[in-house]
Amino acid sequence: MLAAMLLTAAGLTACTVTVDGEAVPADRPPGINVDILAAGESVDIDSDPGATNEFWDDNASNASAPEYEPPPEGEEALTDNPTGVFVDPTTGPVEAVDPESLQDSSAGNPFAAPGLSGQVHGRLYGAFDDRTAYVCSATVVTSAGKNMVATAAHCVYDAFGKRYAQKLQFVPADRNQMEETPYGIWYANKIFAPTQFIEQAEADATGRTAGNGWYYDFAFLSMDPGEDGQQIQDVTGGQGISFGGELDGVLSIGYPAAPPFDGLSQRYCSASNVADRYTNDYVLNCDMTGGCSGGAWLTKFDSTTGAGYLIGSNSRGGGGQMLSAALGEVALALYNQAGGGA
C-alpha cells in the first residue's frame, strides 16, 4: 500500500525532450521519406520462432496487461510536439470519412474490421519472464522496411520490473486466441521504445502508474520476415501513421481480455473527436479493459477501405475512459530510428 502511494505520488517533473533534426511540416508531400530525427532506446530480443511458439503453446491464456489509471490531473502540460508529418496507409491517402462512422460508441462492441483493418490489427503475445505471460494489441504501420508493428511501450517494457519483454509474437487478425491466424504469426526481433518511457514511467505491482514517461507510451517493433522472406507489410498491408495533425473522428481497436471481455475478438470504441490533449494524452470514453493495450487509435478512418492514420495506442484506462499518448516529435524520431523513414 505504501509503495502504491509513493508511486502514485511520484512527481510529474518537466521532461526535456532533445530532438535533433527537423520535423516535416504537413504541407510537404507525405510519404515515408521523412527526416531522420532523434533516437529512442532499442533492444534486441529473442526472436527464435520455434522457441516463441512453443512458449505460447504452453502459456497461451487470457492473461492481460495490467489495467492502468490515469495520471494525476492538474500537472504541467507536456506535449510530444505535433509535427504535421504523416505517412499514408498502403492503400493510399484517405480522402473521405463516412459521417456515420463518427458515432460515439464506448461499450467495446465487436469490431467489423472492414478492408485493411481486417488485416493489420492483431494481438501481441509477450512475456517478461518464463512465468509472466501477457497479451496486448498492436498494428502494422506503413514503413520503409515493411516490417514495423506499433504498440504501447508498456506492452514491451515492464515499468515495474524495469525489464524488456521477450518472446514477442504478433498475430494479425487473431481470432479465438490463435485458433485462426489468417495472416500468420510474426516474431519481433527488436523493440524501439522512447527513452522518456524507459526512464520516467513508473508502475507498482498493482498496475498503478506514475511519472512523465506515460505520456510517451508508444513503441515500435521490428519484425522478422516470414519463412518465405516476405515482410509482414507485404502480407497484411500497413495503416498510415500521423505524428500530430488534424483529427477527423477517432477509432480505438483492441483485444480486451479482462472481464467482461474475453480477448477472443477485436473490439472498438469510437467518437467524433477526443478531448483535447490531457497533458500529453488523448482521452476517449471507452469501456475496453486490459488486453486492449497497444491497440490502435486511428483518425481519418475510412469505414469502407478500413484504412486510416495511427495517432496513438491504448495506454491507460479506468472509470470508462481510455487514454492514449499522442504521437508527435518523439514518436517520429523513434519511427525513423526503427527504419520507418527512408
Partner 1 sequence: MSRSRRRAIVGCIALSAVVLGASGCATREVDGEAHADTAARQTFLESVFDERFTAASDQFTAGSDVAGLEYVSTVGGSDEFDLTRDIVLVGDPATVVVRESSSREGDTIDVYHEGGSDTDFLLLGSLFSELSPTLWTEVPTVIGASDDPCALPAQRVFCGATAALEAGDGETAAIYDLTTEDDGTSRASVTTSLANIVAQSEVLALPAGLVDPDDVDEGATATITIESDAEGGFSALELSAALGGDAGRLLVGFTSTGAVDPDEIPEAPSPFDVTTIAEADVDTFYEEIQRLRDE
Interacting residue with partner 1 among 13, 33, 103, 272 (CB under 8 A): 103
Return the closest-CA partner of residue 23 out of 89, 79, 76: 79
C-beta closer to partner 1: residue 168 or 173: 173
For position 268 contacting partner 1 by CB under 8 A, the verdict is yes
- Phi-psi group of 337: left, alpha or beta (phi > 0 → left; psi -120 to 50 → alpha; rest → beta): alpha
Say how many C-beta atoms besides its own lie within 10 A of residue 96's C-beta. Answer: 9
Does 180 contact partner 1 by CB under 8 A?
A: no
Q: Which residues contact 342 (CB under 8 A, 6 or more apart)?
A: 32, 33, 34, 36, 144
| 118 three-class SS | helix
* Contacts of partner 1 in 199-258 (CB under 8 A): 251
100 three-class SS: helix
Cell numbers 506535449: residue? 79
Could you say whether residue 183 binds partner 1 (CB under 8 A)?
Answer: no
Report CA torsion sign: 45, 50, 52, 53: positive
Nearer to partner 1, 103 or 230 (CB): 103
33 vs 109, beta carbon nearer partner 1: 109
* DSSP single-letter state for residue 40: -
Please report how close the Cβ of residue 292 comes to partner 1 at its closest, in angstroms. 15
Task: Give residue 74's Cα distance to chain centre.
Answer: 25
- The angle formed by the CA atoms of residues 40, 41 and 43, to the nearest 5 degrees, is 145
Burial 118-144 (b: 16+ CB within 10 A, else e): bbbbbbbbbbbeeeebbbbbbbbbbbb
Map the footprint of partner 1 across residues 282-311, applying CB under 8 A: 303-304
Strand, coil or helix: what is 327? Answer: coil
Smallest distance from partner 1 to CB 270, Å: 6
Nearer to partner 1, 38 or 251 (CB): 251
8 A C-beta contact, residue 246 and residue 273 = no
* Binding map of partner 1 across residues 52-91, x = CB under 8 A, - = no contact: ----------------------------------------
- Interface size with partner 1, residues (CB under 8 A): 16
98 binds partner 1 (CB under 8 A): yes
- Per CB under 8 A, does 313 bind partner 1? no
By beta-carbon proximity to partner 1, the closer residue of 10 and 264 is: 264
For partner 1, the binding residues in 105-134 under the rule CB under 8 A are 105, 109-112, 114
Rounded to a whole number of angstroms, the minimum distance from the CB of residue 151 to partner 1 is 21
Distance CA 112, CA 110 (A): 7
Nearer to partner 1, 1 or 96 (CB): 96
Please identify which residue in 61, 265, 273, 285 interacts with partner 1, judged by CB under 8 A.
265
Q: Does 270 bind partner 1 (CB under 8 A)?
A: yes
- The contact set with partner 1 (CB under 8 A) reads 98, 100-101, 103, 105, 109-112, 114, 251, 265, 268, 270, 303-304
